Amino acid sequence: MTHATVVLASRSPRTVARRWARSHSLRRHWDRLRLVAFVLAVFVTGASLWLWPQIVPHIVLAPWVVLAALFLPVRDLLFVYAIATVFLLGPVVGLVDIGPKTELAFLGVVALMGTMYVLAESRARLGIIGLTGESMLVDLRERLEGSSRIPDLPAGWRAELAIRSAHGEAFAGDFLVTALSEDNRLLEVVLVDVSGKGRQAGSRSLHLSGALSGLLGSVPPADFLSAANSYLVRQRWEEGFATAVHLAVDLHTGAYAVGRAGHPPSALFRQGSGAWEVDITPSGPVLGILSDVRYERAHGVLGPGDALLIYSDGVIESPGRDLADGVDRMLGVAARAVVRDALAVADEVVSAAPSGMSDDRAAFVLRRT
């Protein structure tokens, strides 16, 4: 006859206590505790409003209205606001003595509740509670700025970048992505202008910058724009397209190649002539519209003192004026900056853009010293 043997492993009191703490963690009941805390706070504040209506103003409920919208789910928020409304209605309907300007204060707090409810609904659609939304946006902006960081270049080369968003917003539709080969020989740069401006284009900029970062340096430079276009076509953005200019430079020889997808032409400064030349190579179509597109590339060599400028259309566009005028204006600013041997040619070009703050602007300058 067989007997089943059960072996009970002995557990130390510390282990048992740790397991109990994990299973009964306050975190599991944090949402409920927050709701109870806000209900109590509103109840105590509302009760004081009823007990001393001549002394306690309606505005004392405003902090709880704001904080509840930041830290409670929408369903719990409605429950808290319902309790607050009951206490607010007391003085208005005559349950207690009415203080001066009670009706106006009541309308102000109700308007605040409506505003905060709309904000809470917006956060709920994003799955955000509390202040995590702001920190998430800051992180996304830093990631976008990080993708535009120019790597340390070998001796004899200098690069400048300037990006300004429309109306000074935190996000822009223009962004830059760079890649430097492991042997520090091949530098690739792509400047992209996503459809839209400022915050409207910020999400698409972030999405596309990550994709292009993966492509840059992974595909041959001659195929980069075609690969980027294929990627955008597959996304099927309803209103989304992008223009781009791709630059590949051999930092040992100075040989370069530039390809454009609906982007303004690059400009080349020759130290010998002291003048800027505009690239006349035809541009290919914008990214994300047509499939199976090949892009022509302009080739040349940067000698000592030469510079190459790429920029977005916000630098040269101006309402009611021809693009050629904008290009001439930009080249004039760049020529004066180069003659002064300024270290901020890109910044001066962007600052002098005729569009001003109404459009995203970006410029990148690579110079061989």
pLDDT tens, residue by residue, 35-80: 899 999 999 988 887 777 777 777 888 889 998 888 888 888 899 9
The confidence score (pLDDT) of residue 91 equals: 61
Residues 19, 3: Cα–Cα separation, whole Å = 31
Distance between CA atoms of 59 and 108, rounded to whole angstroms? 8
pLDDT beneath 50, residues of the chain: 1-18, 20-24, 26-27
The C-alpha atoms of residue 7 and residue 16 are separated, in whole angstroms, by 18
Give the start-to-end residue ranges of the domains of the chain: 29-130, 139-368
Output the pLDDT for position 2. 43
**Structure letter (DSSP) for residue 318:** -
pLDDT value at residue 56? 74
Q: Residue 98's closest CA among 48, 46, 57, 47? A: 57
The pLDDT of residue 148: 67
Task: Report pLDDT for 228.
Answer: 93
Rounded to whole angstroms, the Cα distance separating 105 from 92 reads 10
CATH superfamily of 139-368: PPM-type phosphatase domain (3.60.40.10)
For residue 263, the SS3 value is coil
- Return the closest-CA partner of residue 348 out of 340, 357, 358, 337: 337
Strands (E), 181-295: 186-194, 242-250, 255-261, 267-270, 275-278
Could you give the 3-state DSSP secondary structure of residue 274?
Answer: coil
Whole-angstrom Cα distance, residue 139 to residue 169? 15
Residue listed under structure tokens 């206590």:
17
> Does residue 167 contact residue 202 with C-beta atoms inside 8 Å?
no
Cβ-contact 359, 193 below 8 angstroms: no
Assign residue 130 a region: left if phi > 0, alpha if psi is -120 to 50, beta otherwise?
Answer: left
Query: What is the pTM for the complete model shown?
Result: 0.69
Tokens 């597109």 — which residue?
Answer: 293
Are the C-beta atoms of 84 and 42 separated by less than 8 Å? yes
